[in-house]
A = this chain, B = another copy of it.
Amino acid sequence: MLKQWEEMQCPADTELEERLREVREKLKVQQLKVKEHRIPVLVLVEGWGTAGKGSLIGQMIKNIDPRFFKVASMSAPTEEEKRKPFLYRHFVKIPEAGKFSFLDSGWMDEIMREKLDGELNDRKYEERIESVKRFERQLTDNGYLVVKLFLQVSREEQKKRIARLAGEKDTKWRVSKNDHWQNEHYDTCMEAFDAYLKNTALPSAPWYIIDAKSKKWTELQALQILTEAIDVALANNALAVPILQNVFPMEKMPLLSEVALDKTLDADAYKEELKRLQHRLGELHNRLYRKKVPVIIAYEGWDAAGKGGNIKRLTGALDPRGYEVHPIASPEPHEKARHYLWRFWTRLPKTGHIAIFDRTWYGRVMVERLEGFCSENDWKRAYNEINEFEKELHDWGAVILKFWVQIDKDTQLARFNERQNTPEKQWKITEEDWRNREKWDAYEEAVNEMLQKTSTTYAPWHILESVDKRYARIKALKIVIKELEKVL
List residues of A whose CB falls within 8 A of some B CB: 1, 4-6, 9, 137, 141, 202-209, 225, 228-229, 231-233, 235-236, 238-245, 247-250, 252, 375-377, 380
Contacts and interface: CB of A to CB of B under 8 A. Distances in A.
Contacts of A233: 240
A232 B236 contact: no
Contacts of A248: 4
B239 A236 contact: yes
Contact of A249 (B6, B235, B247, B250): B6
Nearest to A9: B252
B250 A137 contact: no
A203 B239 contact: no
A232 B228 contact: no
Given A232-B377, A377-B232, A203 B249 contact: no
Given A206-B244, A208-B245, A249-B6, A377 B235 contact: yes
Contacts of A243: 228-229, 232
B6 A245 contact: no
6 contacts: A4-B249, A9-B252, A228-B380, A229-B243, A232-B243, A232-B377
A242 B203 contact: yes
A207 B243 CA distance: 10
A317 to B, nearest CB: 36
A203 B206 contact: no
A4 B241 CA distance: 24
B4 A203 contact: no
Given A204-B242, A239-B239, 5 more contacts: A5-B247, A203-B203, A225-B245, A231-B376, A236-B240
A4 B247 contact: yes
Given A250-B6, A377-B232, A207 B245 contact: yes
Nearest to A232: B240
A4 B245 CA distance: 12
B241 A203 contact: yes
A241 B228 CA distance: 11
Q: Which 7 A-B pairs have the closest CB atoms?
A: A235-B240, A232-B240, A208-B245, A206-B244, A236-B240, A137-B203, A206-B242
A9 B1 CA distance: 44
A368 to B, nearest CB: 17
Contacts of A380: 228
A229 B380 CA distance: 12
Contact of A242 (B137, B229, B239, B377): B229
A9 B250 CA distance: 11
A8 B380 CA distance: 19
Contacts of A205: 242
Nearest to A452: B9
A37 to B, nearest CB: 13
A245 B249 CA distance: 37
A6 B250 CA distance: 8
A203 B385 CA distance: 13
A14 to B, nearest CB: 16
Contacts of A203: 137, 141, 202-204, 241-242, 244
Contacts of A209: 245
A203 B9 CA distance: 34
A5 B204 CA distance: 26
Contacts of A235: 238, 240, 375-377
Listed residue (A203, A225, A236) with the most chain B CB atoms within 10 angstroms of its CB: A203
Contacts of A207: 245
A141 B243 CA distance: 17
A4 B249 CA distance: 7
A438 to B, nearest CB: 26
A204 B204 CA distance: 9
A9 B243 CA distance: 20
Contacts of A250: 6
A137 B202 CA distance: 11
A45 to B, nearest CB: 15
A252 to B, nearest CB: 7
A245 B207 CA distance: 7
Contacts of A239: 236, 239
Contacts of A225: 245
A76 to B, nearest CB: 30
Contact of A232 (B204, B231, B241, B247): B241
A152 B122 CA distance: 29
A391 B375 CA distance: 40
